[in-house]
Amino acid sequence: MLLGLLFLSFGAPALANGQTTHSWISVHALAHLPPGDLHDLLTREDLAPYLLNGTMFPDGGYAVGDDYGERAHWEPFQSAYLELDSHKPRRAL
């Protein structure tokens, strides 16, 4: 046991969830959505790749020393992106 504790004392701290955890959280959250339009949209099999791709987006930049990934987690960035995206032409899903 002492050897195990000694081994653990040299480990680096975990600093982020990472893309795998973000993906797991999104998939797990689908099981907790109440019935309705959002549930119907997010559980469509043909849209699953888009859900997972969007889930992983916010974790970029850390490896190259840029914090855009952190900024992308919060409302000012998301609101600006929504405003920009709201002006794009749409196609039916």
Q: Pick 39 or 73 by higher pLDDT.
A: 39
* Domain interval for residue 74: 26-61+69-84
The C-alpha angle 34, 38, 39, rounded to 5 degrees, equals: 50
Q: Which amino acid is at 7?
A: F
24: pLDDT strictly greater than 80: yes
How many C-beta atoms surround the C-beta of residue 56 within 10 A? Answer: 15
State the total domains in the chain: 1
* Residue 89 belongs to a domain: no
* Residue 79 belongs to a domain: yes
Q: How confident is the model at residue 2 (pLDDT cuts 50, 70, 90)?
A: low
- Which tens digit of pLDDT belongs to each residue from 46-90? 999 999 888 876 666 776 777 777 787 788 988 888 888 888 777
17: pLDDT strictly greater than 80: no
